[in-house]
Structures are given as C-alpha cells and as structure tokens.
C-alpha cells in the first residue's frame, strides 16, 4: 500500500473528525449560515492559491457545469448550512454520526437513478445502518419532547440525504476536468446563494475577533475544506476505493472522541451502539462493492 497516501488518509480522518467540535465552537462566534459562507470563501481562496502556481485555473467546460452546480449548491452550500444550523442544538459527536449515514442512502438512490443492482449485501448493510439510526432515536438517547433537538437531528439526516443525492449524480457524470480543478468554482457557486440566504435570515454577519474564532476560521478554510478536498481526491486515486471507504468510517468515531475532549460531550452507550451498527452497515455495503465497481463510497 502506498505509504504517503496512507499517511494522507490518516491525516484526513483526523482533520475531519476534529472539525466537528471545532465547528461547534465556530457558531458560538458567528451566525451558523455566515460560518458556512466563511468556510466556503476561505476554502475557495486556499484552492486558488494552490492551483494558480500549477497553471490549473480554467473555467469549467459546459459539460461539467451540471456537476459544478450539484456539488456547489447541494454538497457544499446546503450540506454545510444544514450541519451548522443543527450544531446549535445537537452535540458535535452525535452530529458526526448522523451526517455519516450518507452511504446508506446512496445504495437505494443509485439503484433507482443509475440502475445499479440492490444486492442482498447492500440490503443487509442498509438494515444494519438503519438499525443504528433507530438506536440513536431511542428513548434512552433522544428526548422527543424537545422540538429544537428534533429539528436539529432531522437537519443532519437531511444533510446526509443531500450529500447522497450529489454522490449519485457524481457517479453518473462524465467528467471533463479533474475534481480538484472544479472545486474552487463549486465553492464560489455555492457561496453566492448561501450568502444571500444568510443575509435575509441572519442579517449582516456578526463575528468577533477573538483568538478562538480566528483559529477556528484558519482551521476550517485551509485545512478542513481546501486540504480535505484535495486529500480525499488524492487518496481515492492512489488507494483502493474499499480501503478509503472503510477508513473514512473512522471520521464519526474520531468526531466523538474529539468532541469529548474539546467540548466535554458525554458519550452514551446508545451512541456507541448506534455508531457501531451504522459503521457495520456501511462496511457491509463497502465490502459488497468489491463485487460491483460502481457501488457507494463514503463522502
């Protein structure tokens, strides 16, 4: 196995896992939608700084515009907006678990839209994963009487579904440019409508200039957005898709651990069981993909 790619994959898991409690800190300093805008703006700027010296800045071709739109508007803008709004009421560790149910929704979506076979393995994986979601919403771990908590958890599941829709579109798209070359344009496209919605819903941005907030912004733009996007593209090209899919299952686990360390979030047995079932379900889907090259991947 490529040693440098493996090291990059480990770094990606740590960067994304740590970002869940860091995002929680971020929305304490700026409104949630504006925080998503800031992340997209800093991520795009960081990627432009990377790609300009390489001579890889060019406008997307007409053939790639649909995937620029779907990734920019759905996977980036809408996903980040839903996650940031949900983090107001849902602990970051639990948020990471729910957001990473995405592969469970990719399998039926790909079957309906792309005509991929919904095998017994994928059905079994979906059943395990949905069982994990059910555990997370059991009475021992979820208070159904709190409307804000219910809304936040619903937003996270919707965010996972939105990402799944984008993945299905990505799999069916015939790429002309490299994904990394399109990333800054996708971020810019997602930023424009998101900023308009943020202005209407939240008013002008109100951010402080505390050291904590500046550190959060510095982490989210160059690292959690620009670096992470480049890293996930790179490891997917250098390592087997199955290895990457299974390794990225560690992100929600890392999110739980970092959340406990940074924010003091208590981890319940129900959350551990739910995470285990979801991870097992996604793992079964990933292993089944070994027999079918166009199966789902963890985002």
Phi-psi region of 60 (alpha: psi -120 to 50; beta: other; left: phi over 0): beta
What average pLDDT score do residues 19-47 get?
95
Q: How many CB atoms lie within 10 A of CB 243?
A: 17
**pLDDT of 299 over the 50 cut:** no
What average pLDDT score do residues 5-26 get?
91
Highest mean predicted confidence (pLDDT) among 67-76, 112-121, 243-252: 67-76
**pLDDT of 40 over the 80 cut:** yes
Q: What is the pLDDT of residue 174?
A: 83
Lowest mean pLDDT across 69-83, 102-116, 208-222: 102-116
Q: What is the pLDDT of residue 296?
A: 36
Lowest mean pLDDT across 38-47, 79-88, 149-158, 173-182: 173-182
Continuous H helices in the chain: 3-26, 32-54, 65-70, 79-86, 92-99, 102-113, 120-136, 147-172, 179-202, 211-218, 228-238, 241-247, 250-262, 269-288
State the Cα–Cα distance between residues 286 and 53, nearest whole angstrom.
Answer: 37
For residue 55, what pLDDT band results from cuts at 50, 70 and 90?
A: confident
State the Cα–Cα distance between residues 78 and 33, nearest whole angstrom.
Answer: 10
> Between 251 and 240, whose confidence is greater?
251
> Between 219 and 298, whose confidence is greater?
219
| Structure-block tokens of residue 147 | 């409307």
Using a CB cutoff of 8 Å and minimum separation of 24, what contacts does 51-55 make? 51/180, 51/181, 51/184
Q: Which residues contact 134 (CB under 8 A, 6 or more apart)?
A: none
**pLDDT of 127 over the 70 cut:** yes
Q: What is the pLDDT of residue 240?
A: 64
State the Cα–Cα distance between residues 123 and 119, nearest whole angstrom.
Answer: 6
Q: Each residue of 148-199: pLDDT tens digit?
A: 988 999 999 999 899 888 878 877 778 788 888 898 999 999 999 999 999 9
Q: Give the whole-number percent of the chain exceeding pLDDT 90.
A: 38
Phi, psi of 46, rounded to the nearest 5 degrees: -65, -40
Q: Which residues contact 237 (CB under 8 A, 6 or more apart)?
A: none
**pLDDT of 11 over the 50 cut:** yes
Q: What is the pLDDT of residue 245?
A: 64
Q: What is the pLDDT of residue 297?
A: 36
- 116 secondary structure, DSSP code: -
Q: What is the pLDDT of residue 215?
A: 95
Q: Dihedral of CA 119/123/126/128: which sign?
A: negative
């Amino acid at each position: 196995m490529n040693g440098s790619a493996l090291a990059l994959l480990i770094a990606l898991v740590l960067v994304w896992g740590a970002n869940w409690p860091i995002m929680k800190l971020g929305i304490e300093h700026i409104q949630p939608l504006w925080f998503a805008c800031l992340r997209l703006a800093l991520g795009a700027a960081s990627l432009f700084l990377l790609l300009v010296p390489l001579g890889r800045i060019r406008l997307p071709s007409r053939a790639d515009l649909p995937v620029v739109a779907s990734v920019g508007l759905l996977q980036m803008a809408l996903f980040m907006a839903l996650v940031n709004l949900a983090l107001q009421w849902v602990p970051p560790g639990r948020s990471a678990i729910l957001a990473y149910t995405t592969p469970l929704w990719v399998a039926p979506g790909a079957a309906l839209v792309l005509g991929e076979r919904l095998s017994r393995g994928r059905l079994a994986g979906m059943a395990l994963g949905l069982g994990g979601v059910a555990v997370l919403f059991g009475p021992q771990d979820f208070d159904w009487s709190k409307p804000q908590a219910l809304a936040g958890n619903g937003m996270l599941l919707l965010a996972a579904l939105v990402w799944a829709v984008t993945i299905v579109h990505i799999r069916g798209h015939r790429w002309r440019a490299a994904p990394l070359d399109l990333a800054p344009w996708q971020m810019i496209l997602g930023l424009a409508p998101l900023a308009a919605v943020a202005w209407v819903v939240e008013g002008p941005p109100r951010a402080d200039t505390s050291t904590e907030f500046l550190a959060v912004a510095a982490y989210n733009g160059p690292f959690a957005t620009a670096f992470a996007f480049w890293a996930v593209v790179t490891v997917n090209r250098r390592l087997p898709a199955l290895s990457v899919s299974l390794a990225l299952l560690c992100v929600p686990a890392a999110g739980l651990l970092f959340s406990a360390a940074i924010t003091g979030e208590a981890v319940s047995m129900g959350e551990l069981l739910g995470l285990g079932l979801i991870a097992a379900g996604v793992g079964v889907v990933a292993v089944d993909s070994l027999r079918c090259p166009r199966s789902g991947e963890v985002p």
